[in-house]
Amino acid sequence: MALSTQEIMQVALELAGLTEVPPDSGVIVPGEKITKLAVGIDMETAELLLARELKCDGVLSHHPVAGSPKLELHQVMNSQIDRMVAAGVPINKAQKALQKRKEEVERGTHVTNYDRVTSAAKALNMPFLNIHWPADLVTERVVQKHLDEQLNGNPKATCKDVVDALLELPEYQKAATRPQIRVGSEQTYAGKVWVAMAGGTSGGPDVFKAYFEAGVGTLIVMHCPEDALKAVREQNIGNVIVAGHMASDSIGINRLCAALEARGLEIVRLAGVIY
C-alpha cells in the first residue's frame, strides 16, 4: 500500500495521541504514493542521496534538520511544562524553570542553515518529512510504563535496578552505548523515577532542579548537557541516568516504523536507528 507524506504524518500523530502537527515536525517536501521509505534519526543531504541509491521514494528524519521544524524546535519545549506539572512541579515554577533554556535553543536555531537539507530534498525531488515530538512522546511513555512495571513501587530500588530494567528493552540491549548513571551511583536509592524524554531537547539545570524539588528522585533522560550535570551534583538532591540518545530515539521510531509497515510500507532503517 502506498502512502503520502501527509498520511505518514497522520500515522505518527495517531500513534502519539496527537491531533495537530507539532512545531518541530512537518512535511518538508510533500509526496504521494510512497512505497519504500528511508527512516533515520538524522537524515541530511548524504542520506537523501543514499536513499535515492537504495530506490527509496521517500525519506523521514526523526530530528528536525530542515525548514520550519528546525527553526521552531524551541516552541515544542512548552510541552515540558505539562510533564513537570505531572511530576508535581507548580505550573508557574515549571514555566519559569524552562524559560532560560528555551530562549537559548531559539537563539541557537535562529542562526542555523535551515535551508540546506530542504533545498537538497527539493533538488532531488525527494519527498521528505521530519517527525520528532510524536516519536519522542511514544518513547517517553513506553520507558515510563516499563520502569513502573519492573520497579513495581519498590521503595528501596537503586539506580542499578533502574539501569538493569532499562536494559530489558531491546533498543538499550543492542546499542553500543549503555545507560549510564551520570549523577549518583549503583547503590544510590532511586526514589521516584521519572522519565523526561520528550519536549524538543533538554530543559537545562533549572528544569532538573524543579523536578528534584518536587520529589523526583531519579530522572531518566536521553542526554544531558554538562552544565545540568554539574548543577545537579552541586545541588546533591537527585540522580540522573542518561539512557542513551540513539537507543531512546529508536524506541519511538521503531514503533512508528512498525505502524507504517503494518500499512504496507517497506521501511529502510538508517542513520542511527537501532533495531
> What pLDDT score was predicted for residue 104?
87
Q: Considering Cα of 258, then 260, then 264, then 267, what sign does the dihedral take? A: negative
pTM above 0.75, yes or no: yes
Q: Which residues of 190-229 are buried (b: 16+ CB within 10 A; e: fewer)?
A: bbbbbbbbbbbbbbbbbbbbbbbbbebbbbbbbbbeeebb
Grid coordinates standing for 59?
525519506
137-248: in CATH 3.40.1390: yes
- Assign 68 to helix, strand or coil: helix
- Edge-to-edge strands of the sheet including 128-130? 26-29, 128-130, 58-61, 36-40, 266-270
In degrees to the nearest 10, what's the CA dihedral of 222, 227, 230, 235? -90
Per-residue model confidence (pLDDT) at position 51: 97
Q: Please report, for the chain, the start and end positions of each structural domain, with discontinuous segments joined by +.
A: 5-132+249-270, 137-248
What lies within 8 Å, CB to CB, of 22 at 6+ separation is: 75, 76, 79, 132, 133, 134
Q: Which residues of the chain have pLDDT under 50?
A: none
For domain 5-132+249-270, give the fold.
3.40.1390
Dist CA 173 CA 166 (whole Å): 8
* Residue 32, CA distances (Å) to 5, 29, 116, 148 in order: 7, 10, 23, 41
Helices 116-123 & 45-53 angle (0-180, nearest 10): 20
Q: What pLDDT, on the 0 to 100 scale, is given for residue 74? A: 85
Same fold, 5-132+249-270 and 137-248: yes
pLDDT of residue 14: 96
pLDDT at 201: 82
pLDDT value for 269 = 97
What is the predicted pLDDT for the residue at 112? 83
